[in-house]
Chain A
């Protein structure tokens, strides 16, 4: 009834009706992924800890956008609005990390010299 005509603009509904059972499945998946994130963080994987955590978070975020926020059923214009901020975020992060680590900072960055990643930043190392 309610969802049989959900792909057309029926007389009663103007948007897509997602059955509540779908939302429940997504909730279970999100809770399971949360448990996996917490468990994965207990194992020391070095720099892969943050990569794994961000990957799992992105899977969770995709589920929320696609199902909870009805993103799966939206048109291309809305999808443009969904994707653009993430592209801009990637450009910002990419821009920061292709620029700042290679600069020679006039003052050593931060008070704790032992934490300065001199080895990873050739520009900063040249300053000493």
Chain B
């Protein structure tokens, strides 16, 4: 009976109060959630680490190809996207401070800016992809003029594509765990775990791009 009446995490509490957790006090639950998030981020970094390893070995064997092919990427679009992501990361960090001070409207505003920045990033990325498609710069299209760039282009589309997927997921997290509850004044100095964990995910997206931009666009 009690298992049904008292779920492990009970969010049915007044706004601003931490959820009732069956077997933990609030501070322990906060620390445990954050530790779990960092463990997940570690697996995310390792997911991209495999691709960075592929990039390193392919670049080692096809240095000239990588140099030439990376010159075909649009530095202005990539640089613009870098700035957009850095700003979005800044507002995500500010949103955590806002939540800690109990400013729910500030969470909505700052996560909202991050979300719009994510949209701008995806729009620019889509423009870049369509440019590449227009010139036939897809990997493994054997009759393309750019078939000899297949190693670089394969890694470019894999790495930036997986990153773009993370941007999309990150935007969903910002909305679902940050903006939506904050519109109901869910957060306070006592309870802001979802805002902090959502912001951590968004920072990871930015972190990956910090490495992708110079590797793909600048040095090749």
Residues in A lying within 8 Å of B, measured CB to CB: 2, 9, 12-15, 17-20, 23-24, 26-27, 30-31, 34, 37-38, 41, 49-50, 53-54, 56-57, 60-61, 64-65, 67-70, 74, 77-78, 81-82, 84-86, 88-89, 92-93, 96-97, 100-101, 109-112, 114-117
Contact present for A93 and B61 (CB under 8 Å): no
Quote the shortest CB–CB distance from B37 to chain A (angstroms): 9
Q: Which 10 A-B pairs have the closest CB atoms?
A: A12-B189, A41-B218, A53-B214, A85-B45, A89-B49, A27-B90, A81-B38, A68-B93, A50-B219, A85-B42
Binding-face segment, B94-102, B124-132, B162-170: B94-102
Q: CB within 8 A of A14: which of B26, B63, B97, B200?
A: B26
Give 19 new A-B contacts, CB below 8 A, not counting A53-B219, A88-B49.
A12-B188, A15-B196, A17-B100, A30-B86, A34-B79, A41-B218, A54-B211, A57-B211, A65-B203, A68-B203, A69-B199, A69-B203, A85-B42, A85-B43, A89-B46, A92-B53, A112-B148, A114-B64, A117-B61
Contact present for A20 and B94 (CB under 8 Å): yes
Contact present for A60 and B210 (CB under 8 Å): yes
Expressed in whole angstroms, the Cα–Cα distance for A100 and B54 within the complex equals 12
Quote the shortest CB–CB distance from A122 to chain B (angstroms): 15
Q: CB within 8 A of B190: which of A14, A69, A111?
A: A14
* B207 beta carbon closer than 8 Å to chain A: yes
Quote the shortest CB–CB distance from A60 to chain B (angstroms): 5
Expressed in whole angstroms, the Cα–Cα distance for A100 and B94 within the complex equals 45
Expressed in whole angstroms, the Cα–Cα distance for A49 and B196 within the complex equals 36
Expressed in whole angstroms, the Cα–Cα distance for A81 and B39 within the complex equals 6
Binding-face segment, B6-14, B27-35, B177-185: B27-35
Expressed in whole angstroms, the Cα–Cα distance for A50 and B157 within the complex equals 20
Give every chain B residue within 8 A of A82 (Cβ-Cβ): 38, 42
Give every chain A residue within 8 A of B15 (Cβ-Cβ): none
Count of A-B contacts judged by CB separation below 8 Å = 154
* B151 beta carbon closer than 8 Å to chain A: yes
Quote the shortest CB–CB distance from B144 to chain A (angstroms): 14
- Dominant secondary structure at the A interface: helix
Expressed in whole angstroms, the Cα–Cα distance for A85 and B42 within the complex equals 6
Contact present for A85 and B203 (CB under 8 Å): no
Quote the shortest CB–CB distance from A114 to chain B (angstroms): 8
Quote the shortest CB–CB distance from A5 to chain B (angstroms): 11
Contact present for A23 and B82 (CB under 8 Å): no
- Dominant secondary structure at the B interface: helix
> How would residues 38 to 58 of chain B score, 1 for a CB under 8 Å from any chain A CB and 0 otherwise?
110111011001101100110
Closest to A79 in B: B38
Expressed in whole angstroms, the Cα–Cα distance for A41 and B215 within the complex equals 11
Expressed in whole angstroms, the Cα–Cα distance for A114 and B62 within the complex equals 10
Which residues, 109 to 145 on B, are CB-close (under 8 Å) to A? Answer: none
Give every chain A residue within 8 A of B199 (Cβ-Cβ): 68-69
Quote the shortest CB–CB distance from A79 to chain B (angstroms): 9
B41, B75, B86, B94, most chain A CB atoms within 10 A:
B86
Contact present for A68 and B62 (CB under 8 Å): no
Closest to B46 in A: A85
